[in-house]
A and B are shown apart, each in its own frame.
Chain A
């Protein structure tokens, strides 16, 4: 028996809506709890619709944790990480696409190989290194490697290299004949032409850095120097703080990437798609 086109569409919508509810329900619960008075949460637990709204939880969050400080730390870290990764990835990608030299393909393989390398293999030595050069308990440990590519940089390098390869050689050759050096070719021809891809790298880097959990908890022990995401590790051990303030904190922690996703949805999708193309 075949379904009519109409009833088939209805069925598909029903499934899609059911899936959307499954996806959104836990998120919705976080949002409503963040704005529900503690007393009500304590009595009734989480409800689909809050009976009363309050901002009290956010004030309590600020009292229990240096959340404002964490936020500033995260903004600084993620911004510098993103700047560093855009610079280092585009430079490396430029070298791997504009020039031809011996060992270029081998180097590209090395770059791609680092995708396979799990962070925990280098976690302990990296901690020791950062400790030795005095960068533990410092935000520098979190963003400095980004200026040198970082283990997460292979995505950006690969994406930008593919983009650079699409640029016709004639552009750069004409510029070189006019006396432009490779740096000029890089900044005034190559970078402007791959702007859409640069924005994908920006989105990827920001998200990577903002959402990073393991590095902050490895490198940083001083509570005031924590990032927002790393700071969430303190939430579990604070039994004195109730779920209202904790959900307020979790909401604030996810807000920047959620907002970025709202305004740059296309770049996020592109990020996922280009990760797939690599395969």
Chain B
């Protein structure tokens, strides 16, 4: 009975999102595609160059390096976060005193901005002056320059990232663990199955949808990494921590290569979509929805 008026109301309620989507999301997506096919610095005029930005990327060793670095970072961060979070979640998933307090403490780093995390870790790891270096010194270990050594810089940044995000994924896993059938666990216990065995054959399949979600989220986030390397190492030493998004940012706002930056962002996005597609493709093998 309200149908006619309702159409007006639907439009009114949706207007902000639709306008915002057109202006701040869809428009920029289309524009970004066009830009990636143009030669364009911020202040000059634009000219259409077709795919040549993309072709140039293939020959850009810095871009290749940044992609390899990003992948390396992801390969450390994604499994690191998942294993750590799952381990802690399993530890916390029992009725013991103060469990809530521990959960709250573990979540704390996630509340801080990545920029703050970058700065406090840089100080914490600072050679000769940082707390870690001083603590190691007191037991007779001279700490290496964590962020100054090319081979150590990226693993160190990955550690800082794992430190920050694990608490968040722990809470997600804790929620997922509530879906584990306790009667099955009890039966397995009676049958004398080891805790390890129980985990692999009962707990893990039950939380596989959560695991899948965390895998996708952690991967997407890792692919977008910029704050930590930007602030902790500025991409150095010797480009060891230059991530893709950082290089895109440099191209756009420091070198003024808007077109190249847009092309790079699409290449990165397509890679991320491909990785996610592989995840989704593998889903039927290991993710069990009830």
Contact = CB atoms under 8 A, between A and B. Distances in A.
Nearest to B213: A279
Contacts of B258: 124, 128
Given A23-B106, A99-B10, A243-B129, A147 B16 contact: yes
B285 interface: no
B19 interface: yes
Contacts of B132: 25
Contact of A243 (B109, B121, B126, B261): B126
B268 A268 contact: no
Interface centre among B113, B135, B252, B253 (most CB of A within 10 A): B113
Interface in A11-37: 12-13, 15-16, 19-20, 22-30, 33
Contact of A125 (B27, B131, B253): B27
Contact of B135 (A48, A91, A119, A279): A48
A139 B42 CA distance: 21
Interface in B1-57: 2, 5-7, 9-10, 12-14, 16-17, 19-21, 23-25, 27-29, 31-32, 35, 42
A213 interface: yes
A29 B123 contact: yes
B210 A276 contact: yes
Contacts of A116: 220, 273, 276
A236 B236 CA distance: 13
Given A20-B105, A26-B121, A95-B14, A46 B115 contact: no
A19 B213 contact: no
B112 A232 contact: no
Interface stretch (A55-63, A65-73, A148-156, A193-201): A148-156
B116 interface: yes
Interface in B84-130: 88, 91-92, 94, 96, 102-116, 118-121, 123-124, 126, 128-130
Interface stretch (B71-79, B148-156, B169-177): B169-177
Contacts of A118: 220, 223-224, 245, 265, 268-269, 272
Nearest to B102: A16
Q: How large is the interface on B (under 10, 10 to 19, 20 to 34, 35 or more residues)?
A: 35 or more
B146 interface: no
Interface stretch (B59-67, B180-188, B197-205, B226-234): B226-234
A120 B268 contact: yes
B171 A30 contact: no
Contacts of B113: 210-213, 229, 232, 253-254, 257
A126 interface: yes
Interface string A100-142: 0100000100110010111111111111110000000000000
Contact of B252 (A123, A232, A246): A123
Nearest to A15: B91
Interface in B225-279: 226-227, 230-231, 234, 245, 248-249, 252-253, 258, 261-262, 265-266, 268-269, 272-273, 276
Interface residues of A, number: 95
A205 B288 CA distance: 33
Given A24-B105, A232-B115, A273 B163 contact: no
Contact of A119 (B171, B224, B230, B231): B224
Nearest to B226: A214
A144 to B, nearest CB: 9
B10 A233 contact: no
A95 B14 CA distance: 6
B114 A213 contact: yes
A183 B103 CA distance: 40
28 contacts: A19-B88, A29-B120, A33-B123, A47-B131, A47-B134, A95-B13, A95-B17, A99-B13, A116-B220, A116-B273, A118-B224, A118-B245, A120-B226, A120-B245, A123-B248, A125-B31, A125-B262, A128-B258, A147-B20, A149-B17, A150-B24, A157-B17, A182-B13, A210-B113, A211-B113, A247-B120, A254-B113, A276-B172
User: What are the 6 closest A-B residue pairs judged by CB atoms, nearest first?
Assistant: A148-B20, A279-B213, A45-B129, A211-B113, A276-B172, A122-B28
Interface of B: 2, 5-7, 9-10, 12-14, 16-17, 19-21, 23-25, 27-29, 31-32, 35, 42, 88, 91-92, 94, 96, 102-116, 118-121, 123-124, 126, 128-135, 163, 167-168, 171-172, 175-176, 209-210, 212-214, 216-217, 220, 223-224, 226-227, 230-231, 234, 245, 248-249, 252-253, 258, 261-262, 265-266, 268-269, 272-273, 276
Given A48-B131, A125-B32, A258-B108, 13 more contacts: A9-B96, A30-B120, A45-B130, A91-B13, A101-B7, A117-B269, A124-B32, A127-B253, A145-B20, A183-B12, A243-B126, A247-B119, A279-B213
Interface of A: 9, 12-13, 15-16, 19-20, 22-30, 33, 41, 44-48, 87-88, 91-92, 94-95, 99, 101, 107, 110-111, 114, 116-129, 145, 147-151, 153, 157, 176, 181-183, 186, 207, 210-214, 218, 229-230, 232-233, 235-236, 243, 246-247, 250, 253-254, 257-258, 260-261, 265, 268-269, 272-273, 275-279
